[in-house]
Structure 1
Amino acid sequence: MTTVDWTARGAAATAREIAQQPRLWREVAQDAERDRARTDAFLQPLLAQPDLRIVLTGAGTSAFAGGLIAPALARTLRRRVEAVPTTDVVSNPAEVFAEDVPTLLVSFARSGDSPESVAATALAEQCLSSVHHLVVTCNPEGRLAKEMAGAERSLVLQMPEAAHDEGFAMTSSFTCMVLATWLRLAGGDPGVGSAAAAAERLLAEHEDDLAALAARGYTRVVYLGSGPLTALAQESALKMLELTAGSVVAWFDSALGFRHGPKSVLDDETLTVVLVSTDAYTRQYDEDIAAELLRALDPKDVLVISAGSPSRLQAPQTWELPELAGASDVVAGLAYVVVAQLLALHTSLALGLTPDNPFPSGEVNRVVQGVTVHPLGGAGA
């Protein structure tokens, strides 16, 4: 592993919070099993309703947690599951809640103190006749956790204390909230140990490789993924933007969508990272775009992250994670995102920034400020 004086470089919290994730995932899985009776008592009557709508919400990284889970959960539960950011809920509640059906609102929040977090739950109550709340948070002292802990028709899932990231960017908070929610709503997943093992190997074997990539001085980084992994690509791009204070332009798209215009972002200073789906059908499209990029670009500027059986790609930078064979894209994504987190961390360091606080003058804040939540005149307003 790269030897860095994390404290001197202003990166101690971020580096620690990336490295601790495999341990925390195992802890989250144990907590989910111990808490099974309580969560089942809350969730099973709701999931028994055929017209239940599940809405996964949060802002920024917390919104992408919902985006990663929603399509995979819809496939698993064979029901309607949607990811809608709190920023959309708060600004357009009449559209988001236009259909008054029984709803489970799953709210993701690292701190629970962002203005939109509590406002989204209140607007759901105002607009809907029947709404239940599952709050997934890392901060028991946050406003959202405190207000919803004793509320009727609500359940709060508290992440391990160490998941309440101190660094600017969400890392372990993101993956722990994703995993905790997936385990409760999808009915468990045997792949948690495999994801932890894959991430541990990435940390041990590829951190130096990622530091070397960061040192090349890319000015643009593109992340591509399909299905649930499109949201993971979006989160990966955000990590690069956040930890480099916007100095590196980061883009995301789906494997198929990238060809429809966004491909024009590519130049000779771009690194492209393809996140390959674990689904055999979807995987073909991810490998197709990777093969196309390998033909069009210098192969050293393309990184492919893949699970399961060996890729058909002849790429110099294809990192196979056989531990993840048979895992869902959600669980595989836990390991995949560690690559993006480490790349962003080392790119920030290469630029001479302080990853724990890449905005020392306060242009962007760890907990969003400056939002005015305006009253809604009525459910149909």
Structure 2
Amino acid sequence: MKYLDIEASQLKVVGGFDTAKEIAEQPELWIKIFEKLVRDKERIAPFLNSVLKETKKIILTGAGTSAYIGHSVEGCIQRNTGITTVSIATTHIVSHPNDYLERETPTLLISFARSGNSPESIAVVKLADTYLNHCFHLIITCSEEGDLAKYSSKNKHMVFLLPPESNDKSLAMTGSYSGMLLTILLMSNFDKLDSKKEVVKAIVKYANQLLHKKLDQIRKIAQLDFTRAVFLGSGPLYGTAMESHLKLQELTDGLVICKNDSYLGFRHGPKAVVDENTLLVYYFSNNKKVLQYEIDLVQGMGVGKRPLKQIGITTREECIPFIDDLIVLDDDESIIIDDEYLSVCYIVLGQLLGFYKSLNLNLQPDSPSTTGAISRVVKGVKIY
């Protein structure tokens, strides 16, 4: 058995079996999530319909990787529900609840967590129940044994458990991230769930191209001698850039320092980080208007220090100046995939870069932190 084109036996020797398997099995996981949502329709729909009628504000929250989910979906949820939607990390809310929790505003708190055991995860749902006069909870998590899944609120709440294989064993969140991201996207327009089957099939196809047809291309990029990496994305793909930045940085134990930004934001100072040791990664939008801004930025990279290499990912063949390596996913679908759904499959590129770079640096992807500075579940956080 091979995962990411490496024999399972070899992956176990180098300490990368779980990470490789979890990255490779994401497309299958996404299909299972869609099928589970269809099966659970009669439980989910009444809850969503009920709380959304009363809700005036939606907060998307999580810690670390789980917090980045909100940045990819907040716009989509706000459009689909007509309710003000914001993404706020639990790590912000815990220390400054008065800045984010409006006592008189009926609020739906949507919590994302792999294990549900991070101290901040449970602290925030308790704070919301304490601070808010009208509060509802939607908990999306991967572990039925986690504290968050077991939380009993005095307010109306629902827990959605992803399939067990979403609960990654490795340090880095991969299937758990993309799985929770897909779950909330499908829930955001739940009345039209059946119509999203073709969209799910399309992102599965795109991911499988990355996991099979594009592996050699990505592996060669990871072999380059870069010590910095910058990921750029617009709108929903900004969340993908954020998560990619974390994935590569944690899987390389900080030996590769990473940044993320939007295309327009990158011009306002952050561009100074680029040097001859930098890998620049562009997540290109499917929206033609947005793409114009993105291509303008790429053209602007011709001024100043040249990065070591500039790569991009797209579903269209485009003539983009200065791009050294363009990963084109075959677009033979009859539908155009919105950027929020592209964020589910595009993250596979960031995961693969992190995985292969970790191996190149003689680290163990399943547990890359040689000093124990980072761990699967954050420890040492005291809640006051």
TM-score range, shorter chain: over 0.9
Q: Cα RMSD between the aligned structures?
A: 1.8
Equivalent positions of 1:210-225 (< 5 A) are 210-225=218-233
1:361 aligns with 2:381: no
Aligned in 2, Cα 1:323/1:12: closer, same or farther, shift over 3 Å? farther
Once the two structures are TM-superposed, the CA of residue 361 in structure 1 deviates from its matched residue by 3.5
Corresponding position of 1:379: none
* Residues 323-348 of structure 1, C-alpha deviations (whole Å, 9 max, x = no match): 57511212111111000000000011
Q: Which of residues 256, 260, 264 is equivalent to 1:252? A: 260
- Checking the alignment, whether the CA contact within 8 Å between 1:107 and 1:135 is kept in structure 2 is yes
Corresponding position of 1:332: 342
Corresponding position of 1:228: 236
**2:24 maps to amino acid:** A
Q: Secondary structure at the match of 2:301?
A: helix
1:155 aligns with 2:158: yes
Aligned in 2, Cα 1:233/1:306: closer, same or farther, shift over 3 Å? same
Q: Secondary structure at the match of 1:68?
A: helix
Separation in 1, partners of 2:118, 2:282: 32
Once the two structures are TM-superposed, the CA of residue 99 in structure 1 deviates from its matched residue by 5.2
Separation in 2, partners of 1:300, 1:359: 26
Corresponding position of 1:7: 12
Aligned in 2, Cα 1:151/1:181: closer, same or farther, shift over 3 Å? farther
Identical pairs, percent = 36
TM-score computed with the length of structure 2 as normaliser? 0.92
Q: Which of residues 58, 61, 64 is equivalent to 1:57? A: 61
1:133 aligns with 2:137: yes
Q: Secondary structure at the match of 1:26?
A: helix
- Checking the alignment, whether the CA contact within 8 Å between 1:70 and 1:83 is kept in structure 2 is yes
Once the two structures are TM-superposed, the CA of residue 173 in structure 1 deviates from its matched residue by 0.2
Once the two structures are TM-superposed, the CA of residue 272 in structure 1 deviates from its matched residue by 0.5
* Residues 348-380 of structure 1, C-alpha deviations (whole Å, 9 max, x = no match): 110110010011432211101111111xxxxxx
1:171 aligns with 2:174: yes
1:311 aligns with 2:323: no
**1:333 maps to amino acid:** S
Aligned in 2, Cα 1:311/1:279: closer, same or farther, shift over 3 Å? same
Once the two structures are TM-superposed, the CA of residue 181 in structure 1 deviates from its matched residue by 1.2
Corresponding position of 2:110: 106
Once the two structures are TM-superposed, the CA of residue 81 in structure 1 deviates from its matched residue by 0.7
Aligned in 2, Cα 1:323/1:7: closer, same or farther, shift over 3 Å? farther
Q: Which moved more, 1:355-364 or 1:297-306?
A: 297-306
Q: Which moved more, 1:110-119 or 1:71-80?
A: 71-80
Aligned in 2, Cα 1:323/1:118: closer, same or farther, shift over 3 Å? farther
Once the two structures are TM-superposed, the CA of residue 313 in structure 1 deviates from its matched residue by 1.5
- Checking the alignment, whether the CA contact within 8 Å between 1:55 and 1:83 is kept in structure 2 is yes
Separation in 1, partners of 2:255, 2:370: 15
* Residues 109-141 of structure 1, C-alpha deviations (whole Å, 9 max, x = no match): 000000001100000011101111000000000
Once the two structures are TM-superposed, the CA of residue 216 in structure 1 deviates from its matched residue by 1.1
Aligned in 2, Cα 1:42/1:332: closer, same or farther, shift over 3 Å? same
Corresponding position of 1:378: none
Q: Secondary structure at the match of 2:180?
A: helix
TM-score computed with the length of structure 1 as normaliser? 0.93
- Checking the alignment, whether the CA contact within 8 Å between 2:277 and 2:307 is kept in structure 1 is no
Runs of 4+ in 1 over 4 A off after TM superposition: 294-300
Q: Secondary structure at the match of 2:133?
A: coil
Corresponding position of 1:377: none
Once the two structures are TM-superposed, the CA of residue 151 in structure 1 deviates from its matched residue by 5.7
* Residues 83-128 of structure 1, C-alpha deviations (whole Å, 9 max, x = no match): 0100011110011113521111000000000000110000001110
